[in-house]
Structure 1
Amino acid sequence: MENFLNKFFFRSSNLNYISHSVANLTKQTPANKIFEALNTYSDNSEVRYVGGCIRKIIKKEVVDDIDLATNLKPSEVCDALKKKI
């Protein structure tokens, strides 16, 4: 496993490409509004890209859907989005 991680992250420019692609995804989609709403809901709230969109970025494919995960309860997500969006 360590060998795989070294190859993936340290021996290639993949990490820069992934970071740049994730930043562009946030800038080029309405996801930035969701991130802002959820991340500012409380001091402990977090939201992250997960799943297929990350896999597609890694594989240099077109991202056609966005998956997010948060540590908020569903009712808190609704509250946060109602307040900001």
Structure 2
Amino acid sequence: MLPIEQDGSFGRVSIRVSMKGAMESIFGVLYALESGEPYLLISDLQLQGKRTSRRHGAAGRNQWAKAGTELACTFVLSGYIRG
């Protein structure tokens, strides 16, 4: 948790978040946080991608198939409280 910042009669409460996951999952979480209620704000967003592969083996043969893109994500999530 980051220090509370006063903005008039409201206090801005913030936390620093780090998470890893599939690109689609990360985007879903970010969208849900910013579009839901209570209103939350995302700032200082940093994304780092890594292409991942999955090994498929059949009778000693190695085949590689694209599994997707994994993201490491860090950001500050903020909301406001009265008083």
TM-score by length of 2: 0.29
Q: Which has the higher contact order (CA 8 A, sep 6+)?
A: 2
Larger Rg: 2
Structure (1 or 2) with the greater strand fraction? 2
- In terms of fraction of residues, the more helix-rich structure is 1
- Structure 1 length-normalised TM: 0.29
